[in-house]
Amino acid sequence: MASSSTGRVVAVTGACTYLGGELLRRLEEDPRYARVLALDVRPPALAPGGKTEFVKIDLTQPTIDGELATLLERHDVDTFVHGAFLSHPTHASEWAHELEDVGTMHVLNACAGVEPRRLVMVSTTLVYGAHPKNPNFLLEEAELRGHRDSRFVNDKVRAERQVQRFAKEHPRVEVCVLRFAPILGPTVSNMYTRFFSRPVAPVMMGHDPLMQFVHEQDAAYALQKAVESRAVGAFNVVGKGVLPYTTVLAMLGRVPLPMPQIIARQLTKVLWTTQLVGSPPSFLDFLLYLCVADGAKARRELGFSPRLSIKRTILDFLGMAPEDGATDVARAHG
């Protein structure tokens, strides 16, 4: 293909995730990109425009790295965006491990051979872990504590460590890791949107940590910026402002259910093993301790600053106009 002379070629894994899909849409509109390869196990809703090409790539296949490498070579891929990560915990933890940890290894194997100019990885601020010793604003250099007995978080930590090692071994590749705060918005679906969609939410009795979110549009914009820029390293992508957990619940109109820690842990353990809830017991730590990151580095080096405050983000997630009015007009005739 002779497309590389007219513009950049971007490959995106996890094209069916929210961020992947948004990125495809934005790259499609941008004339600086010649071709976009959408890699996933099923075809994404492709934007009309014809720049985007779907290639079926299953990262859990044992020899997928070779296939990926030939693909990258053939299309002369300039930027590789690795976003094939789960947005909510699953009971199929073996499969999740194959996809996130081993899948990242396959991606890095392919990149090690071809050496694209730029590698962008999607991660989350959950990798810092909720810990009583966390400062109010975690910097990118902070230790990735992960999370005890949570494969959902720990697989991402392992994937990040692999990418860090890769960055050291391949200084010619610009490696950029984006750690997104929990993403909220009207269309995105992840662990947090599911958690906050239930009418009742558990509260650890007597504890009320500060929480932080990023709006889905801000998150997509940050990813777009990361593909465009030449910045290297890890960046926290966070929204404006923080709010205490119980205030978030109050704004969402959810009923808080205060529980002593011991009871909450046993209850969620039972609910998780019987597959009645989507958040594992270890998630309760995030209702106990801080896990808030500082977005100053992304503003400085990536040129990304969020446009929406946490309050607007929450109202938008609720589908409410900021002036506190409902948005459904059809109801006048209902």
Partner 1 sequence: MTDTSDPPDRGDDPSGDDDWYGEADPRVPDASAWPDRDLGFLGDDIYLGEEAQVAAELAGSHVPSVSAEGAAELRELERRLEQQRTPVFPIDLRRRLPLEAVWRRWRALAMWGRSDVVDDFGRDPRATARWEWLFEFLYSKWFRVEATGLEHIPAKGRALLVANHAGSLPYDSAMVMHAVRRDHPARRDVRPLVEDTVFHLPFLGPIMNRIGGVRADPENAERLLLKDELVAVFPEGEKGMGKLWKDRYRLQRFGRGGFVKLALRTGAPIIPVAVVGAEEAAPMLGKVTWFAKNIGIPWIPVTPTFPWLGPAGLLPLPSKWYVAFGAPIDLGKAHGPAAAEDRLLVNRLADQIRTQIQDMIDGLLGQRRSPVLSAFLG
Residue 43: CB minimum distance to partner 1, A = 17
The answer to whether the beta carbons of residues 98 and 86 sit under 8 Å apart is: no
User: Can you tell me the distance from the alpha carbon of 13 to that of 264, in angstroms, rounded to the nearest whole number?
Assistant: 37
Residue 282: CB minimum distance to partner 1, A = 18
Residue (144 or 249) nearer to partner 1, CB: 249
User: Can you tell me the distance from the alpha carbon of 30 to that of 6, in angstroms, rounded to the nearest whole number?
Assistant: 13
Residue 25: CB minimum distance to partner 1, A = 14
Q: Nearest CA to 39 among 80, 95, 94, 86?
A: 80
Residue (131 or 161) nearer to partner 1, CB: 131
Residue 163: CB minimum distance to partner 1, A = 25
Residue (149 or 324) nearer to partner 1, CB: 324
Please tell me whether residue 20 adopts helix, strand or coil conformation: helix
Residue 326: CB minimum distance to partner 1, A = 5
Widest pairwise Cα distance in the chain: 64
Cα torsion at 202, 208, 209, 214 (round to 10°)?
60
Residue (98 or 285) nearer to partner 1, CB: 285
Residue (162 or 309) nearer to partner 1, CB: 309
By the criterion CB under 8 A, which residues form the site for partner 1?
A: 132-133, 135-137, 139, 186-189, 193-194, 196-197, 205-208, 210, 241-244, 246-247, 249-251, 253, 255-256, 289-290, 309, 311, 317-319, 321, 323-334
- Secondary structure (DSSP) of 222-258: HHHHHHHS---EEEEE--B--EEHHHHHHHHTPEEEE
